[in-house]
Amino acid sequence: MEFIKVTEQAQPSVALIELNRPKELNALNKQLMEELRDALQALDKNEAVRVIILTGNEQAFAAGADIKQMADKSAIDMLVIDQFSTWDQIRKTKKPLIAAVSGFALGGGCELAMMCDMIMASETARFGQPEIKIGTIPGAGGTQRLTRALGKAKSMELILTGRFLAAEEAHFYGLVNKVVPVEMLLPETFKLAAEIAQLSPIAVQLAKEAINRSFETHLDEGLAYERRNFYLTFASEDQKEGMKAFVEKRKATYVGR
Ligand code: DAK
């Protein structure tokens, strides 16, 4: 791996992926996204991992897709090379994926953070979809996910002007879960991850799937999907253990079966 760093057990059951192209503010080129796809696929299969954290560095989570790599491409090049298909893996990841964002999260960087299940932000985090300033528009879900998170008015303002949203404002609008001082970003993110990692991975995965359904379907279908996943948890040892432990007034131990 050249452009990302993966630590499988950064903390027990929690993996850490660090985007690592600092000179280019972690611009997401083809190779980086291929490495990220491969890492996510491997961690998703790794039973020792229950939660994955994705982060950048203090200056940037990621300043977008690599503009230099796409500047002179034609529409047909984009279609035929289809280098952006690697991005599909982010939303296919079954385990909880938490973005820890400091500095710039712009364009594809903002979209990448929004594809994660939760976003923890440092006080220096700045979110934006500035594609309009380089003559294009968001292409990895920005017009959809930002609008769902912020509402139409603010999303229009950001996408049509390319303005940035500061961390506190992003928190006010519900784009991020929490804003913390820079030095607390990873410790606080690990704390959140550890809380989830001790729970039943089966229930966590089914809950994540059901929440994501709410963005993809109408209410009736979403509710039916949720009910199906709820019933499915009763096929797991974890559900038996969780409910038994509650009745016996002890802490449950979840094995992921
Ligand atoms: N691509 C390539 N290089 C970048 C870059 C980027 N997005 N962002 C920064 N860099 C490079 C700069 O060129 C510079 O390199 P050198 O000149 O030193 O070689 C280095 O990083 C440091 O940047 P600056 O010198 O510009 O640093 P400043 O502090 O002055 O400014 C900045 C920071 C973040 C405000 C500025 O760099 C900037 O505006 N960057 C571009 C932000 C942007 O427009 N991002 C959106 C790109 S379009 C899709 C998936 C994804 C996408 C589309 C489709 N599908 C799944 C279909 C995504 C598209 C995009 O993200």
pLDDT digits (tens, 9 = 90+) for 30-76: 999 999 999 999 999 999 999 999 999 999 999 999 999 999 999 89
Closest CA to 237 of 208, 193, 201, 197: 201
Catalytic residue status for 157: no
DSSP 8-state code for residue 51: E
Query: Quick one: average pLDDT of 162-187?
Result: 98
Query: Quick one: average pLDDT of 230-246?
Result: 95
Query: Quick one: average pLDDT of 102-127?
Result: 98
Whose alpha carbon is nearest atom 46 of ligand 1? Answer: 107
Mutate to test the pocket of ligand 1, among 3, 24, 78 (most ligand atoms within 8 A of CB): 24
In contact, 154 and 173? CB cutoff 8 Å? yes
pTM of the model: 0.96
Q: Binning pLDDT at 50, 70 and 90, where does residue 222 land? A: confident
Q: Binning pLDDT at 50, 70 and 90, where does residue 205 land? A: very high
pLDDT for the residue numbered 143 = 94
* Percent above pLDDT 70 for the chain: 100
Q: Does residue 24 register a pLDDT over 90?
A: yes
3-state secondary structure of 229: helix
pLDDT for the residue numbered 79 = 86
- State if residue 196 touches ligand 1 by the CB under 6 angstroms criterion: no
Catalytic residue status for 203: no
- For the chain, the first-to-last Cα distance in angstroms comes to 32
**What is the atom index within ligand 1 of the atom nearest the CA of 111?**
51
CA angle 22–26–30, rounded 5-degree value: 125
pLDDT for the residue numbered 203 = 98
Q: Binning pLDDT at 50, 70 and 90, where does residue 83 land? A: confident
pLDDT for the residue numbered 81 = 84
